[in-house]
Amino acid sequence: MLYFILKAALSGVIIAAISTVSRRYPGFGALIASLPLISVLGMIWLWRDRPDPANMADHAMATFWFVLPSLPMFLAIPVLLKAGVDFRAALIVGCLLTIVLYSLMIWLGPRLGLRL
């Protein structure tokens, strides 16, 4: 249980740091957010729990393929906000777009030979 609390606390500190930095320096906050910190932490925790090179390689490759369908959200939200759409609505549309693209990746990926 202590291990779980440590993982959650460290992940939470990263998210809090991003939001705090972003208030004053939006670009720098975005840079921090774009770093694969959560993915790297996830791989560290996974390796500690199950040090299996094949499993880790599969995890890292699947992470790469799942990052791709999340990227359009970061284009859709600013376009919607600049068009006058309310933040909550823009965020919901961005998240729905991501869900649709994730679903498409889950369906299409194995058909293209991807191990997800």
Domain that holds residue 91: 53-116
For the chain, percent of residues with pLDDT exceeding 70: 100
Best CA proximity match to 12, nearest among 4, 63, 22, 62: 4
Q: How many domains does the chain have?
A: 2
**Which letter does DSSP use for residue 70 in this model?**
G
**Residues 39, 59 within the same domain:** no
Mean pLDDT (the chain, rounded): 94
- Domain boundary (51, 70, 91) is at 51
Does pTM top 0.85 for this prediction? no
22 — pLDDT class (breaks 50, 70, 90): very high
Regarding whether 58 and 112 lie in a shared domain, the answer is: yes
Give the pLDDT score at 43. Answer: 94
Same domain membership, residue 57 and residue 45:
no
pLDDT for 1 equals 86
Q: What is the model's pLDDT at position 33?
A: 87
Task: Name the phi and psi angles at 93, rounded to 5.
Answer: -60, -45
Q: How confident is the model at residue 115 (pLDDT cuts 50, 70, 90)?
A: confident
Report the pLDDT averaged over residues 34-59.
Answer: 93
